[in-house]
Amino acid sequence: MESGRGTEYRKRPGESIQHRRRPSEGGERRRRPSEGTEYRRRQPEGTEYRRRQPEGTEYRRRQPEGTEHRRRQPDGTEHRRRQPDGTEYRRRPSEDTGYRRETSENRKPRRRAPEDVLYTQRSEKSTEHRSGSGGYKPRYRGNIRRVRQRNLRVGIFLLVLLVGIAGAVNAIKAKQQEAAAQAYAEQQAKKEIQEAEEKEEDNGLKLADESEKDQWYLKLVNAKNPMTQEDVPEVATETIDANGYQVDARIMGDLEDMFADAQAAGRNPVICSAFRSWDTQEYLYQNKIQRVMAEEGLSQEEAAVEAGTVVAVPGTSEHQIGLAVDIVSSEYMNLDEKQMETEDQQWLMENSWKYGFILRYPLNKSDITGIIFEPWHYRYVGKEAAKEIYEQDITLEEYLGAEPVGSSQAIESDSEEETLE
């Protein structure tokens, strides 16, 4: 537009000086001296064209299009793939040689390399399937099936394997648990036995040793352990007092000591029965039968049963082995429960164990001894056993671990009635 105005001034030549007087606007002057400036100005318009050329850097970029290719070359292998078409084959040679052989036929299966291994194996097996299917697609589908089937088989196999392993592990665990439970049960059983033993010890139940049971002074004689006439041990007896009562000679010392100490304590107990021979016991028993028959009008068999409840049947009395002594108070000589109330009996019951004697048929023990309470019948068992039996408040049967006789046939007395009148 400005150049257009300038052109108008130049068309008026006379006024051109006026134009020079306006030097301040000099930018335009220089362009005026040469009228062709317009042309030149147009040339510079071409400059625009030149300027466009530099702007055409795009154009330069377009010229070396190969440059782009070069830039891409270093970036990626893609460029190499495009230049030599066969290069693709070169890349894949890294895979199996078996795979190469097949590539000559089909490329697609190559691209799915992981499955190919299976594919090649199966294709070698069945050529019929290839020809029958006609193309590689159906073959491929068949292969997929086979692969899936194989995978399925492998999967099932692995599953079965896992189940088997899990089963084995469980079985082992179960066995371990069973073993642990068994060990625990055994431990518990041992504990219970130990506790039971400790309890027994705590109760103070110290019983006779097996070897001790064979000792003569612990010989058990009762209704459940009767003797035949032949079984009765031959006892060397010795007369204990002026009445002529005899005992086993081996207990004489202890018996004498007991009586001496009782008398020293102001007591005066007396013996009313001691050793009885088989004949004596038999006589007592038969005599009792006769008396029952006469007094109660019973038959001999009935009378024998009745007599057996009062007088010990021969073979079942401790008096027959010389270890039993019936002792009563000189102040009260009746054989009944009041006997225990006498001072003489009180002293004997408290002290007899020190000399090896026990009160053999104590109160409330009839179910074990088979004999009613007899606070006069003393039995020698030796000092050790006597102490244990006395302190533990048990019977000879209990001390020996023998079977209780039972109270059903408990006899009233094994004493010699006749001597107590």
| Residue in the block written with tokens 């102490």 | 387
Task: Copy the structure tokens of residue 287.
Answer: 């005599």
CA 376 – CA 349 distance, rounded (Å): 9
**Residue closest to Zn ion, measured at CB:** 377
Report residue 338 as tokens.
């009041």
Residue whose CB is less far from Zn ion, 339 or 415: 415
Question: Residue 321 Cβ, how far from Zn ion at the closest point, in Å?
Answer: 12
Q: Which of 116, 248, 254, 326 binds Zn ion (CB under 5 A)?
A: 326
From 1-9, 14-22, 235-243, 322-330, span contacting Zn ion (CB under 5 A): 322-330
As beta bridge partners, residue 414 has: none
Q: Which stretch binds Zn ion (CB under 5 A): 189-197, 256-264, 286-294, 375-383?
A: 375-383
Q: Which is nearer to Zn ion, 288 or 377 (CB)?
A: 377
Angle between helix axes 252-264 and 343-351 (nearest 10 degrees) is 130
| Residues assigned a catalytic role | 374
CB under 5 A: which stretch of 114-122, 236-244, 293-301, 320-328 binds Zn ion? 320-328
Assigned token pair, 62: 């377009």
Residue 379 interacting with Zn ion (CB under 5 A): no
Minimum distance, C-beta of residue 276 to Zn ion, in the bound complex (Å): 9
Q: Residue 346 CA to chain centroid, in angstroms?
A: 58
Q: Which is nearer to Zn ion, 146 or 377 (CB)?
A: 377
Least distance to Zn ion from the beta carbon of 213, Å? 22
Structural Rg of the chain based on CA atoms: 68
Return the number of the residue (267 or 319) whose C-beta is nearest Zn ion: 319
Site for Zn ion in 41-80 (CB under 5 A): none
Considering only residues 281 through 300, tell me which ones interact with Zn ion, judged by CB under 5 A: none
Out of 288, 365, 377, 379, name the contact with Zn ion by CB under 5 A: 377
Contact 397, 220 (CB under 8 A): yes
Output 109 or 315, the one with its CB closest to Zn ion.
Answer: 315
How far apart are alpha carbons 328 and 259 in whole angstroms?
A: 12
Piece of 158-166, 223-231, 293-301, 326-334 that binds Zn ion (CB under 5 A): 326-334
| DSSP secondary structure of 345-404 | HHHHHHHGGGGTEEEEE-TT-HHHHSB--EEEEEEE--HHHHHHHHHHT--HHHHTTPPP
Shortest gap between Cβ of 298 and Zn ion (angstroms)?
Answer: 25
Task: Find all residues with CB under 8 Å of 402, minimum gap 6, and list them.
Answer: 220, 224, 225, 396
Residue 55, both tokens: 């702007």
Which residues would be at the binding site for Zn ion (CB under 5 A)?
326, 377, 415
